[in-house]
Amino acid sequence: MGRFIGSLLFLSVNLCVVGQTLLVPGDIAIVAYNARLHSRNCNISFVLLRDIVAGTTINFTDNGWTSPGVLRSTEGTDVWTASTALSAGTVILYPFTNVRLSTKGDQVLLFQGTVDDPNFIFAINNNNTGRQQGWNSMNTSS
């Protein structure tokens, strides 16, 4: 019995420390993407496809994913944090502050974790109908 209570206490402490919902592909989807030429007034709308707790964070970046398997570091990254618990079906309009989307083509990668160890959740590209053939510019990902 003591071991069981100790395990429950350990589990509840760990859940409180994490304080966010860990998302996987399919948990959110981008429903609108607004790129404006030479403007910082870019935004994105996404829908939650599962419930999340307050404190859940999602990173948005227009840094390309390179063929060596790392994120570029020459563009912007924004972090959205849920201020309250939100239900599946909630649509969020998020105005970027650091991400500057190009009207000539760009990508938005959504992830949790760090730029060195991202857990990708969703990605969108407005530059091509298929996979990019390289990562030689800020407008492409591999």
Give me the CATH code for the 20-125 domain, please.
2.60.40
- Residues 39 and 19: their CA atoms lie apart, in Å, by 34
The predicted structure's pLDDT at residue 55: 97
What pLDDT is stored for residue 1 in this prediction?
Answer: 57
Q: Where are the domains of the chain?
A: 20-125
DSSP states of 79-121 as a string? EEE-SS-B-TT-EEEEE-SS----TT--EEEEEEE-SSSEEEE
In the chain, DSSP finds a helix count (H) and a strand count (E) of 1, 7
pLDDT score of 84:
97
- Residue-level pLDDT at 57: 97
Distance CA 73, CA 37 (A): 21
- pLDDT at 63 (0 to 100): 85
Question: Residues in the chain with pLDDT < 50?
Answer: 6-17, 142
Residue 37 confidence (pLDDT): 63
